[in-house]
Amino acid sequence: MKHFVLASLVLSWGLVACEPKELDPCAQQIDCGDALLCVADRCLTPTAANERCKTNPSFAKACEQYGECTWDAGRCVVGGKEDCKGSKGCSSDARCTFDEGAKKCVIGGSEDCAQSEFCTKLKRCKHDPKQESCVPGNTEGCQAQTDCKAAAICTYDPVTEGCIATAADCKASAMCGQLGLCSLDPKTKKCAPGSEEDCKKTVDCKAGKVCDWDEDARKCVKAS
């Protein structure tokens, strides 16, 4: 009986002694048991393994930019919403929401846009699920876009939920004074000449081609 008890104690002590420890060498996951992970031939705690995703030159950039900061099955992946929220993809590009199905960070809604540089720097604070991007959500946002200066698309339209050009936008634009595009064409919804005065400012008129205004046709024409 004594020999049996002694043998049991020795066996139990042997099992405890063989429990893998952090930094023990490993060739596969089974070598590290259930509590540790086999990472680069060493057993590491989950915390240490995740830290490797953040600091190792091979993985750090993807962790910082895309939220791939959690070690899983031999590689760094997006482990959840905290990885997404801590990434530059969130602060810069509004990819702050973890997509469970795709296992990646995505724009989840206007809240994500609002906390990103799309909103703070570019005034694109509203999420457009069709375009999967952040877009202007009011006239102030439209006025901050390059299309406002370039094409007088400066007013937010709640019907289309996008930026449009209005007659007032055309009249106030640099295109009016420089190119004669002072009126809103009802068909194209773009700025166009709307009078004799406007026609004389156009590129075609300056080239000696089309300078007269045809009221019926609502366009600039050659002098008759």
pTM over 0.85: no
pLDDT of 163 above 50: yes
Question: How far is residue 168's CA from residue 18's CA, in Å, rounded to a whole number?
Answer: 80
DSSP 8-state secondary structure symbol assigned to residue 48: H
Q: Flag the least confident range among 40-49, 91-100, 168-177.
A: 40-49
Q: What pLDDT shows up at residue 7?
A: 47
- Percent of the chain scoring above 90 in pLDDT: 73
- Higher pLDDT among residues 1 and 197, named by residue: 197
Cross-strand partners of 162: 157
Task: Check residue 39 and give left, alpha or beta (phi > 0: left; psi -120 to 50: alpha).
Answer: beta
Question: How far is residue 172's CA from residue 153's CA, in Å, rounded to a whole number?
Answer: 11
Residue 59 structure tokens: 């993985």
pLDDT of 201 above 70: yes
Question: How far is residue 156's CA from residue 137's CA, in Å, rounded to a whole number?
Answer: 7
Q: What pLDDT shows up at residue 33?
A: 85
The whole-number average pLDDT for the span 8-19 is 50
- Per DSSP (E only), the strands in the chain are 37-39, 42-44, 70-72, 75-77, 97-99, 104-106, 126-128, 133-135, 155-157, 162-164, 183-184, 191-192, 212-214, 219-221
DSSP 8-state secondary structure symbol assigned to residue 180: -
pLDDT of 9 above 50: no
Q: What pLDDT shows up at residue 14?
A: 44
With bands split at pLDDT 50, 70 and 90, how would you rate the model's confidence at 11?
A: very low
Q: What pLDDT shows up at residue 178?
A: 93
Q: What pLDDT shows up at residue 23?
A: 81
In this structure, are residues 118 and 125 in contact, taking their beta carbons and an 8 Å threshold?
yes
Identify which of 4-8, 46-50, 124-128 has the greatest average pLDDT. Answer: 124-128
Express each pLDDT in 83-100 by its tens digit. Answer: 999 999 999 999 999 999
Q: What pLDDT shows up at residue 35?
A: 84
pLDDT of 67 above 90: yes
In this structure, are residues 221 and 210 in contact, taking their beta carbons and an 8 Å threshold?
yes
Question: How far is residue 87's CA from residue 104's CA, in Å, rounded to a whole number?
Answer: 12
Question: How far is residue 165's CA from residue 139's CA, in Å, rounded to a whole number?
Answer: 11
pLDDT of 4 above 80: no
